[in-house]
Structure 1
C-alpha cells in the first residue's frame, strides 16, 4: 500500500484526531487557524479547541485578493496565480502557527482548508437557465499539503453542489453535530460578510434542521468604509455608524430584493449585496446626498432587520429561542443592540457559552466536516433541497 494512504488509514483509526481547521471569509481580515482535538463522529462528536489564532493579511495581499474578488471581469491569469499563492501563503501561516504552539507538523493529523471564496454563483443569483449552481474557492489544497507535509482535506463546497445544494451555507452539518440540545430551540447565528444561521430544534429531529444565508452581515458596511475611509477596512466599534442616524427612505429601498423574500434555505454573497446595490437603493430613495455617517447607520440597521425578519420567519414573534452569535459582526455593538431591540423575547449568547471561541467557530466547523469525511456516517437531513446528506472535501496528499 502507498505509505501516505497507509498513514491516512492509521489516522482514521485513532481514537482522537488532531485537526487544523482553516477559514478565510469574504471580509478577508486574515486566516483563522483552529487546532482541534476531535473524537467520535456524528452526534457523538466531541471537540476541544486546543489552540486558535487569526493571522492577519497584509493590506497588499488584501488588495491582490480584492482585484479578483466577486468580479465578473477578473483577470483570469491573476485568478490562476492567486490560487497557488494563497495555498502557499496559508501553508506558511500554518507552519508558523504550529511552531508557535511548540508543535511539529508531524504532530498534526489533518488540515481542513476552506480556501478563499472569490465568486459565489448559485442559479438563484446568476439566473441562467442552462447553467448549474456554482462557487469558487481558491488556495490550492495540494500546495498546502506539500508545503506543510500534512494531509489536507479541501474544496468542501463542490460536493455540496454536486449533491444538489448551492455550496452554502455548510454550517448546518457541524452545528447540528456539536451544538444541538434536547428541549432547547437554538439559533446559531454567524455574522460574517454575509449573515447566516442554523436552526437547531429542541427535539433533535435532523429532518427539521436547516442552515440558510439571510442577507448582508458586514459586507455592505465594510465595502462602504473601504471606499470612503482610506486605510480602514471596517467600522471599528461602529464609531462611524453611531455618529449617524438611520434614513428610513434608504432603509425601505434597501429592503426591496427578491432574495429577501425567498424561502429557506437560500444562499447569497457580495455578488448581490455590494456597493452597486447600495447606489441603486440611494437613487430610488433620492438619498444620494445624505452623510456617510447616516449611510453607515442605515446599513447597520439594514443588516439587523434582515436578520430579525429571518429569525421571526422561523420562530414567529413570541417564541424565545436561544441565539448563539459568532463571526465578526458580534464585535459590532450597534448591530448587536439593534438585534436585541428587535428580538426582545430571544436570549443572546456568544459561542463562548458552548466552550467554542466565537471567532474560531467557522474554522472549527471545517475541522468537523473533515472529521466526518474521514470517519462519519451520513446524517439524514430528510433529503430536503439544499441540505444533501453527503461527505465533503477532497483529500490532498503531501507526497
Structure 2
C-alpha cells in the first residue's frame, strides 16, 4: 500500500483524531485556525477545541485577493499565481501557530482547508442556460500538505455542487452533528460577509433540516467603508454607522430584489450584493445625496432586515433558540437592529454550546474532515437540492 494511504488508513482507525480546521472568509480579516480533537462520528461526534487563533492578513495580501475577488473579468495569471501562493502562505501560518502552541506537525492527523472564495456562481444568479451551479475557492491543498507535512483535505464545496447543491452553505452538516438537541428548536445564525443560518428542529427530523443564505451580513458595509473611508477595512464597533441615521427609503429599495422572495435554501454572494447594487438602490430611492454615515447606517439596517425577515419566515410563531456566530456579532449596531426587529426572541452566541463564535466556521470544516475520514453519509431525505447527502473533501498527501 502507498505509504501515505497507509497513514491515512491508520488515522481513520484511531480512537481520537487531531484535526486543524481553517477558514478564510470574504471579509479577509485573517486565517482562522482551530486545533480540534475528535472522537466518534455522526451524531456520536465528540469535539474538544484545544487551540484557536486568527492570524491576521496584512494590507498587501488583502489587496492581492481583492484584485480577483467577485469580479467577472480578472487577470488569469494572478488567479493562477494566488492559487499556489495562498496554499503556501496558509501553510506558513499553520506552522507558525503550531510552533506558538508547542505542538509538532507529527501530532496533527489532518488539516481541513476551506480555501479563499473568489467567485460564487449558483445558476439562480448567473442565469446562463445549460450551465451548472459553480463556485471557486483558491489556496491549493497540495501546497499546504507538502509545506506542513500534514495530510490536507480541501475544496469541500465541489462535491456539494456535484450532488445537486449550490456549494453553500455547508454549515448545516457540522451544525447538525455538533449542535442539534432533542426537545429544543435551534437556529444557528452566522453573520460573515454573507449571513446564513441552519434550521435545527427539536424533533431531530433530518428531513426538516436546512441551511440557507439570507442576504448580506458584512459584505456591503465592508465594501462601502473601503471605498469611502481610505485605510479602513470595516466599521469597527459600528462607529461610522452609529454617527448616521438610516434612510427607510433606501432600506426598502435595497430589500426590493427577487432574491429576498426566493424560497429556502438559496445562496448568494458579493457577486450580487456589491456597490453597484447599492448605487442602483440609491438611484431608485432618490437617496444619492445621503451622507456616508447615513449610507452606512442604512446598510446596517438593511443587513439586519434581511436576516430578520428570513428568520420570521422560518420561525412562524414557533419557539426557537437563536445562536449567533461570525464577525457580524462584533457589530453592536447590527445586533441592536436585529434585536429590535426580532422583538422578544433572545439571540445568544455559540460559546454557550462550547464553541467560541469566532472559531465556529473553522471548527465546522474540521468536522467535515472528520466525517470524510470516518463518517457515513447523513440521510437528509428526498430533495437533494435541499441538503445533498454527501461526504466532502479532496485529499492531498504530503510529498
TM-score, structure 1 length as denominator? 0.99
Which residue of the partner structure matches residue 216 of structure 1? Answer: 216
Asked if 1:125 corresponds to 2:125, the answer is yes
Which residue of the partner structure matches residue 83 of structure 1? Answer: 83
Which residue of the partner structure matches residue 376 of structure 1? Answer: 375
Per-residue deviation, residues 263-282 of structure 1 (Å, max 9, x unmatched): 00000000000000000000
Paired residue secondary structure (1:188):
strand
Which residue of the partner structure matches residue 386 of structure 2? Answer: 386
Per-residue deviation, residues 50-100 of structure 1 (Å, max 9, x unmatched): 000000001000000000000111100000000000000000000000111
Which residue of the partner structure matches residue 348 of structure 1? Answer: 347
1:319 CA displacement: 3.0
Which residue of the partner structure matches residue 248 of structure 1? Answer: 248
1:286 CA displacement: 1.0
1:130 CA displacement: 1.4
Asked if 1:314 corresponds to 2:285, the answer is no
Paired residue secondary structure (2:357):
coil
Which residue of the partner structure matches residue 23 of structure 1? Answer: 23
Q: Structure 1 unaligned segments of length 5 or more: list them.
A: none
C-alpha contact (below 8 Å) 1:166/1:386 kept by paired residues: no
Which residue of the partner structure matches residue 197 of structure 1? Answer: 197
Q: C-alpha separation between the residues in 2 aligned to 1:115 and 1:386?
A: 24
C-alpha contact (below 8 Å) 1:319/1:346 kept by paired residues: no
1:320 CA displacement: 2.9
Paired residue secondary structure (1:359):
helix
Q: Note the 1:268-287 alignment, pairs <5 A.
A: 268-287=268-287
Which residue of the partner structure matches residue 103 of structure 2? Answer: 103
Per-residue deviation, residues 154-185 of structure 1 (Å, max 9, x unmatched): 00000000000000000000000000011111
C-alpha contact (below 8 Å) 1:192/1:217 kept by paired residues: yes
Per-residue deviation, residues 265-324 of structure 1 (Å, max 9, x unmatched): 0000000000000000001111111100100001000000000000000012x3331110
Which residue of the partner structure matches residue 59 of structure 1? Answer: 59
1:224 CA displacement: 0.3
Q: Structure 2 unaligned segments of length 5 or more: list them.
A: none
Which residue of the partner structure matches residue 333 of structure 2? Answer: 334
Which residue of the partner structure matches residue 303 of structure 1? Answer: 303
Q: C-alpha separation between the residues in 2 aligned to 1:260 and 1:303?
A: 12
Q: C-alpha separation between the residues in 2 aligned to 1:313 and 1:349?
A: 20
Which residue of the partner structure matches residue 363 of structure 1? Answer: 362
Segments ≥4 residues shifted beyond 4 Å: none
C-alpha contact (below 8 Å) 1:186/1:201 kept by paired residues: yes
Which residue of the partner structure matches residue 116 of structure 1? Answer: 116
Per-residue deviation, residues 176-222 of structure 1 (Å, max 9, x unmatched): 00000111110000000000000000000111000000000000000
| More deviation, 372-381/337-346 | 337-346
Q: Note the 1:176-191 alignment, pairs <5 A.
A: 176-191=176-191
Q: C-alpha separation between the residues in 2 aligned to 1:304 and 1:320?
A: 20
Which residue of the partner structure matches residue 264 of structure 1? Answer: 264
Q: C-alpha separation between the residues in 2 aligned to 1:308 and 1:20?
A: 33
Paired residue secondary structure (2:246):
coil
Q: C-alpha separation between the residues in 1 aligned to 2:81 and 2:386?
A: 32
C-alpha contact (below 8 Å) 1:135/1:167 kept by paired residues: yes
Which residue of the partner structure matches residue 325 of structure 1? Answer: 324
The 1:113–1:19 alpha-carbon spacing in structure 2 relative to 1, beyond 3 Å, is: same
C-alpha contact (below 8 Å) 1:320/1:345 kept by paired residues: no
Which residue of the partner structure matches residue 41 of structure 1? Answer: 41
Q: C-alpha separation between the residues in 2 aligned to 1:253 and 1:5?
A: 55
Equivalenced residues, count: 398
Q: C-alpha separation between the residues in 2 aligned to 1:201 and 1:386?
A: 15
1:124 CA displacement: 0.2
TM-score, structure 2 length as denominator? 0.99
